Amino acid sequence: MSGRVKARATARVAIVQHRSSARLDQALEQTVDLAHQAAVGGAELVVFPETWIPGYPAWIDSAPGAAFWNHEPVKAAWADIAANSIDVDGPSGRRLQALARELDVSLVIGISEQVGHGPGRNSLYNALLTIGPDGSLLNHHRKLVPTFSEKLIWAYGDVDGLRAVDTPVGRVGSLVCWEHWMPLPRQAMHDAGEDLHVAVWPTVHADHQLASRHYAFEGRCHVLAAGALLHRDDVPAGLAPEESRIPGDDWLLRGGSCIIGPDGRFLVEPVFDRETIIHAELDLGRNRREAMNLDVSGHYHRRELMSLTLKPNGRAVSRPAPRTE
């Protein structure tokens, strides 16, 4: 998409909270079906959680021996994740672009990213893609710091995708999981001028709700906090956690998706332990009204006293819509 798009007074949004398939072809089919359901329900912006494709490996923190050096079941599971991750510049990435165009929606989707060729082709990234309704890849953000045992799965990201982009429903930005505890990335995103912020998590439990609500209050923007579902049955063979490590009802990840207004209060309360698509119509005019007493990138910032400098590496973060066959 070219040029700045003026934000509407309202935005119709949806968060998909669903168990995801670990098989790339099935996960893409799921994504098509669920995004279609969201669009039929009126959504103009559809959000999927952290590493929706091919699913978040929550077992890495709870499976017996998962973090041991040279643990064969984990190496096998990692290779399986790699084989079923999205190649942003390949057919799977183009399919997601085509999906947004087919449904005429903006799409924000968490993926495990594989690099199709060249340097780094044996590394994976925890990434977020923002795709416009014409199918253009508007932004490609790689999580800056994989958290704790996530370092066994994904490589370090960069700041090239640390920005907001224009969509028909306003400027949309996003961060992944514990990036919401990092003050400097938060400030960079506030400076980008978000109307809507997408916060993707493995599950939006109490601490993650706190971070998401703080972000909304600090940034004076609406926040869509998307959480995933993972059932014991979804765990790779040989890596099922002990009974004592499962929070209840065999759910390792419980969802918790919610929508928060620019005053930090819930507009849609967290939803746990069930597959659903959360719909809402947001009043974007509230962003300006709430900014009267706090604007951390404007009148509540002292730029003559302090500044933030990003160090991009020049990685391409956008791509035009794929050609129609």
Q: Which long-range contacts (CB under 8 A, 24 or more apart) does 246-254 make?
A: 246/62, 249/273, 252/58, 252/59, 252/62, 253/56, 253/58, 253/202, 253/203, 253/227, 253/228, 253/229, 254/203, 254/205, 254/227, 254/229
| Residue 7 banded pLDDT, cuts 50, 70, 90 | low
pLDDT 10s digits, 163-189: 999 999 999 999 999 999 999 999 999
What pTM did the predictor assign? 0.94
Write the single-letter amino acid at 20. S
Q: At residue 4, does pLDDT exceed 60?
A: no
Domain coordinates in residue numbering, the chain: 10-290
The answer on pLDDT for 104 being more than 90 is yes
CA distance 141 to 319: 13
Q: What are the angstrom distances between the C-alpha of 73 and each of 64, 94, 209?
A: 10, 31, 33
Helix axes 91-103 and 24-40, enclosed angle (nearest 10): 10
With residues binned 3-state (H G I as helix, E B as strand, rest as coil), the percentages for the chain, rounded to 5, are 30, 25, 45
- The whole-number pLDDT of residue 13 equals 98
**pLDDT bracket for residue 245 (50, 70, 90):** low
Higher-pLDDT residue of 246, 10? 10
Residue 286 has pLDDT above 90, yes or no: yes
Question: In whole angstroms, what is the distance from residue 237 CA to residue 255 CA?
Answer: 23
Looking at the predicted structure, is the pLDDT value of residue 72 above 80?
A: yes
What does each C-alpha distance from 306 to 78, 107, 144, 220, 301 come to in angstroms?
42, 35, 23, 21, 9
- Catalytic-residue membership of 50: yes
Within 10 Å of residue 187's Cβ, how many Cβ atoms?
Answer: 17
211-229: per-residue pLDDT in tens? 999 999 999 999 999 999 9
Quick: pLDDT tens for 189-215.
Answer: 999 999 999 999 999 999 999 999 999
Other Cβ atoms within 10 Å of 308 Cβ, number = 14
Determine which one of 44, 113, 150, 177 is catalytic: 177
Six token digits for residue 23: 């098989």
pLDDT at position 265 is: 98
End-to-end CA distance of the chain: 20
Q: Binning pLDDT at 50, 70 and 90, where does residue 46 land?
A: very high
Q: Is 47 exposed, middle or buried (0-12, 13-18, 19+ CB in 10 A)?
A: buried
- Here the tokens at position 103 are 């449904």
> Does 94 have pLDDT greater than 60?
yes
The verdict on whether 177 is a catalytic residue reads: yes
Over residues 127-165, the pLDDT tens digits come to: 999 999 999 999 999 999 999 999 999 999 999 999 999
The active-site residue, picked from 143, 194, 221, 290, is 143
pLDDT of residue 60: 85
pLDDT of residue 2: 45
Domain covering 10-290 in this structure, CATH number: 3.60.110.10
